[in-house]
Amino acid sequence: MIRSFLSRAVKLVSLAKPSIESLIDSESKIGGQIFGHASRGVTRRFFLDDGDSWFYSEKAVDTTNGRVLYSFTIRYEILPQGVLKSVDGRGHVFITGIELAHLKQAIKVYKRRIKEELYSPKETKPFQLVNQ
């Protein structure tokens, strides 16, 4: 019981002063939902870091034994001359065409959803920040 109380107290303290990391973490969970329903055992995250880079990460785990089936992270760095993509830190290339269009679309949806679900003054519910 004491442990439960302390746990709740710690959460409330952390809610009173959210950090940039906790905000990005909450955003990344919302971002991971905008690409459709993920299969069982698949975790997706999509977010803007504290700089000029967007990250899409996906991890699939075998739910029967917890073994990681695959995992990768794509970084999209927004530069004046274009969007530089790298996968797991390799293969840097400027994206064009459909991929660029899809990224732009995803960023628009991300911005709208975090605004509505996380930062809207009327809708802001502090517990959402940690309990999502």
Residue numbers at the binding site for other proteins (CB under 8 A): 16-20, 23-24, 27, 48, 52, 78-83, 100, 104, 107-108, 110-111, 114-115, 118-119
CB of 35 to other proteins, least distance (A): 17
Task: Indicate the residue among 17 and 90 with the shorter CB distance to other proteins.
Answer: 17
CB of 101 to other proteins, least distance (A): 9
Task: Indicate the residue among 69 and 82 with the shorter CB distance to other proteins.
Answer: 82
The angle at the Cα of 91, spanning 90 to 93, to the nearest 5 degrees, equals 130
CB of 13 to other proteins, least distance (A): 11
